[in-house]
Amino acid sequence: MNKIVLLTGFEPFGGESLNPSWEAARRLDGVELAGARVHARQLPCEFGAALAALRWELDALRPTLAVAVGQAGGRAELSLERVAINIDDARIPDNAGRQPIDRPIVAGGPAAYFSTLPIKAQTAALRRAGIPAAVSQSAGTFVCNHVFYGLMHALAGGPARGGFIHIPYLPEQAAAHPGAPSMSLDTISAGLTLALETALTATTDIAETGGTTH
């Protein structure tokens, strides 16, 4: 046992009193999966500061696998994000009150990075286990995409793999957002566990469509 998994969640934002990404990540802190130990860390929901904290953890932990998790209020499934794009375009202010519009995350950086997680194998494994999941073609343009891009930029060229998973509201959040789907913390945690195990054990991804026509 010396492989390390870094699993991050966010602090609450947008008026919520909790963030399901951190509630789920903290549950897995210290757990052993497929010969690796999970280290859960909370990130601030702030442009810049979130990435600074992430880079500090990457340097300190030197993980084999680094997965960031974020809340996607309104989505019904675990979303295996395919691609991070090099832009911040905030529809609402972050927790520090900043609202960048059309600013690159890394000046001169590539336009995008693809996840290096086996997102098709993860989606298939989750569905087989009865956990709603889908590949997503966009992680948005807020702090989640910011962290996803920054993570992939930090890992680029190295051996560690990484990616981003969006999760639904918890039921207690959705109760205040009529019409919004939700997922229980038990289901989310089981899903993240399985997604991490699949990432740790899959050597290559599977060829199964996760695309959209538009």
Residues that bind a second copy (CB under 8 A): 14, 70-77, 79, 82-83, 85, 87-92, 99, 101-102, 110-114, 120, 126-134, 137-142, 144, 166, 171-172, 174-176, 178-184, 186-187, 205, 207-214
81 is catalytic: yes
144 is catalytic: yes
CB atoms within 10 A of CB 91: 10
Residue 143 CB, nearest distance to a second copy (Å)?
8
Residue 96 CB, nearest distance to a second copy (Å)?
16
| Choice between 61 and 73, CB closer to a second copy | 73
- Of 16, 45, 81, 146, which is the active-site residue? 81
| Choice between 36 and 195, CB closer to a second copy | 195
Residue pointed to by tokens 């996803």: 148
Distance CA 25, CA 190 (A): 11
Tell me the sheet residues that pair with 161.
65
| Choice between 63 and 210, CB closer to a second copy | 210
Residue 14 CB, nearest distance to a second copy (Å)?
7
| Choice between 3 and 14, CB closer to a second copy | 14
Strand 83-85 and strand 112-114: pairing? antiparallel
Question: Comparing C-alpha atoms, which of 142, 172, 158 is closest to residue 47?
Answer: 142
- Of 166, 172, 177, 208, which is the active-site residue? 166
- Of 23, 46, 144, 153, which is the active-site residue? 144
Distance CA 203, CA 170 (A): 32
User: How many Å separate Cα 1 from the centre of its chain?
Assistant: 24
77 is catalytic: no
Distance CA 74, CA 71 (A): 9
| Choice between 42 and 99, CB closer to a second copy | 99
Structure tokens at 102: 């059309």
CB atoms within 10 A of CB 96: 13
3-state helix, strand, coil in the chain (%, to 5): 30, 25, 45
Residue 15 CB, nearest distance to a second copy (Å)?
12
Residue 2 CB, nearest distance to a second copy (Å)?
31
Catalytic residue ranges: 81, 144, 166
